[in-house]
Amino acid sequence: MTGGDVAGVKSVPASPPAPLDWKFSQVFGERTAGEEVQEVDIISAIEFDRSGDHLATGDRGGRVVLFERTDTKEHGGSRKDLEKTDYPRTRHPEFRYKTEFQSHEPEFDYLKSLEIEEKINKIRWCQTASGALFLLSTNDKTIKYWKVQEKKIKKVADLNVDPLKAVGNGSIASSSISSVNNLSNTANGEYKDKSSTSLNKDFSAGAIQSLRLPVVTSNETSLVARCRRVYAHAHDYHINSISNNSDGETFISADDLRINLWNLEISNQSFNIVDVKPANMEDLTEVITSAEFHPTHCNTLAYSSSKGSIRLIDQRQSALCDRHSKLFEEHESPGSRSFFTEIIASISDIKFARDGRYILSRDYMTLKLWDINMDSGPVSTFQVHEYLRPRLCDLYENDSIFDKFECCLSGDGKRVATGSYSNLFCVFGSSPNSTEDTTLEASKNPMRRQVQQTPARSLSSSLTRVVRRGGESLGNDTTLDFTTKLLHLAWHPTENSIACAAANSLYMYYA
């Protein structure tokens, strides 16, 4: 009798959830017909915060753009209250442009004669406090810690005295001059002020009460982004990952050969916890491609390599984690190896499931789901680009084979998603026996209607343009366009909603 059997009655395994019906919700920054995409507007990072009420994107121009959820506010109450009603099931989540700021600027390293791009590689939300939003953003070399909060705009009103009594209007001054002219020489040689009565009236206690001091008012508010910390000069190679720790105090940053541990409050010091750099660089066989903290265990983190392996490390074992506690990799049969084997095996992204039990990895051809308690192989493998295997030579020639696609999991862990070419993204069911396999084209949205645009901002991000519409159906065109690719996407932490980036446009889908 299995653990699920009761009184000799065999338990029936739970059936996998039904496939979701995905619908288009919103698009920000969509191009008009014939409009050319500017390189600086291409989105390079995307991230929901823990509540799902805020979404951040970074672009190649070094800007960070924030979006805020509005449908819960417009209908009153918190999301938890709304979840008790039919509202979340009958209406899609809706976001609006909130603010943007210039996070990074292009730099030049004169010592190494190296140009440092302003492109945002990763964004990670930190814990909120006192209504302020905190997040980390990084380019190739420098990490910045930002605080975004509403500030009241102070204006000075009532700058002068009563206009009827103001010197600037000439009333008091003129009365003083007239008072002098009214002075006359009396017969006994004494001067008498004929207008003393009027002067006393002008400067009486009642007149002094009419003097109004400047008043500072703050009726309007404005969002202000302020850089709290700059974490620099700690990486010799390009930073590919940053990840917050569950302790709320530390985070890691990873480049090709090292992983550093930082304290959020200390910007001039970090600890090197992983170093895979060999004594002789000619002996280098693999590099670090992605790193992430465990969502609940502050001592555990995982990092992936260009050889297709994932290493789980425990910081309690040693200060320098040069030995892993677990290794996850899938060996390919020797007969199937080719020139492209190691290239397509390189893992471009890893994500922990929300409960920390599973790790999702994305290489060029597949998505793989790993159970951290089982290192013999992945528990599920999802074929994403298997149909491209005969074209690997062409993909190598045009460098598409080196594209780095991201991956994400739903909050309940029942589904996984990743992007592909022609602005396609795929959703797979990760539950046992699930056959869910949905492919959507983010940019194919007929019957759109234009809505009012956000006023132009000084940073002129293309994401200030918004389009919304209802559901859609996709065509059957399977011709791939390798110049358009959906590399970045994120799953809402508590709902079946996906935000994905195609070039300079941010597309929102829900189910």
pLDDT at 304 over 70: yes
Cα 60-64-66 angle, rounded to 5 deg: 140
Alpha-carbon radius of gyration of the chain: 32
Average pLDDT over residues 226-251: 95
Q: Using CA of residue 334, residue 337, residue 342, residue 344, what is the dihedral sign? A: negative
User: Out of 35-44, 154-163, 223-232, 288-297, which region has the weakest mean confidence (pLDDT)?
Assistant: 154-163
Q: Which two tokens stand for residue 429?
A: 């069911």
Tokens 């599973």 found at = 358
Residue 478 banded pLDDT, cuts 50, 70, 90:
low
Q: Compute the mean pLDDT over every residue in the chain, rounded to the nearest whole number.
A: 81
| 3-state DSSP percent of the chain in helix, strand and coil, to 5 | 15, 40, 50
- Give tens-digit pLDDT for 439-468: 999 887 644 443 333 333 345 455 554 444
Residue 163 banded pLDDT, cuts 50, 70, 90:
low
Domains and CATH numbers, the chain: 23-155+219-510 (2.130.10.10)
Average pLDDT over residues 157-169: 55
- Give tens-digit pLDDT for 342-389: 999 999 999 999 999 999 999 999 999 999 999 889 999 999 999 999
User: Out of 277-291, 312-326, 388-402, which region has the weakest mean confidence (pLDDT)?
Assistant: 312-326
pLDDT of residue 14: 66
pLDDT of residue 164: 56
pLDDT of residue 209: 54
Q: Is 95 helix (H, G, I), strand (E, B) or coil?
A: strand
| Structure-model confidence comparison of residues 87 and 491, the more confident one | 491
